[in-house]
Structure 1
Amino acid sequence: MSLKYAVLAALHEQPATGYDLTRNFRTRMANVWNASHQQIYRELAKMTEEGLLEVEEVPQESRPDRKLYRLSDAGTASLATWLAEPQGRPPTRDPLLVKLFGGDLVDPASLREEIERHRRNWQEELGRYQDIEAEYFSKPEQVPFRFRLQHLALRKGILAMEANLAWADEVAGVLKDELTSRP
């Protein structure tokens, strides 16, 4: 999958500026797709050239005009076609897991520090996801179907962070046992 379909899906919800999209990718879509400001703007330009997006210039006083992007008919059709196609899971490439395969070559305390660093990051990410859930989905049964689906995407991120934290506790326990058993 490319960034193209993540942008199309975000614009399917509502028209947005590049700035709005970047903010959306950093908040509500953070567990769905990671993209930088530059990547999003490059993709917007390319998709506009391909006719997938329409752009409206919105005048602003004392600032350059804003560009408001929305799906064109071709963009909606492209998104619908992609949504109907089965998607494979992305390959796993996790350096932390590789470190566990060779971890007996280093001091368990260094692995423990790395696990703790990841644990803090996962805890922060979980907090961000929970904040998003509280802000947008406090009553999920009362929101339209499309937002209930988005809530399910967010729930996957929440459950993944909770699983990461539980796993980190397991790893920390094994490392602690190893450290205490050493002379």
Structure 2
Amino acid sequence: MALRNAVLAALLEGEASGYDMAKGFDASVANFWMATPQQLYKELERMATEGLIETRVVQQERRPNKRLHSITPAGRAALREFIAEPAKPTAIRDEMMVKVQGMETEDAPTVRAAMVEKLEWSKAKLARYERLRTRLLNGRSEQAYLEETERVGPYLTLLRGISFEQENIRWAELALSVIDRRFATHP
């Protein structure tokens, strides 16, 4: 999947600046697609050149001008074309798994420290996702939200992100307990 498809899907929510999209990616799309701000800005330029998005400049006082992007009919068509393609099986590429796989006794403290850091990161990300979920629901039940909202896709991907981070936390806690018992590395 190309970054362009994630950008097009994000722009279905409405017009956004590159800065807003980078923040939005971190809060929503990041649960299934990672991109640096530099990658995002480069892709936005390419997509504008290809006619998939339109960009307008908003003059601002005391701040640099803001560039707002929106999806074009050609962009919607490209996204629909992508959606119609068969989805490829998910492949996990996780550096932590390589570290755990290759861990020997002398590596256990280093791997444990990296795992504790990843665990804290997952807990923080889960908390951000839960805050976003609460904001989306806005006091409604999940059922009411899903019946009333115009687009259910962002909520469904958020739920996947929540379950992904919950599983990351569960696995990291299990792995840390095994490492601690096996290698007696805990402080």
TM-score (normalised: structure 2):
0.85
8 A contact 1:4–1:43 mirrored in 2: yes
Superposed, 1:1-183 pairs within 5 Å as 1-138=1-138, 139=140, 140=142, 141-142=144-145, 143-146=148-151, 148-179=152-183
- CA 1:20 to 1:102, structure 2 compared with 1: closer, same or farther past 3 Å? closer
Larger radius of gyration: 1
Q: Deviations over 1:11-35 (max 9, x none)?
A: 1110112222122112232213222
Contact 1:137 / 1:151 at 8 angstroms: preserved in 2?
Answer: no
> 2:111 and 2:61 mapped to 1: Cα distance?
54
Identity level (%) = 34
Q: Which runs of 5+ in 1 are unaligned?
A: none
TM-score for the superposition, normalised by structure 1: 0.86
Structure 2: runs of 5+ lacking an equivalent: none
Letter in 1 for 2:165: M
Cα pair 2:105 2:183 within 8 Å, conserved = no
Matched residue pairs, number? Answer: 179
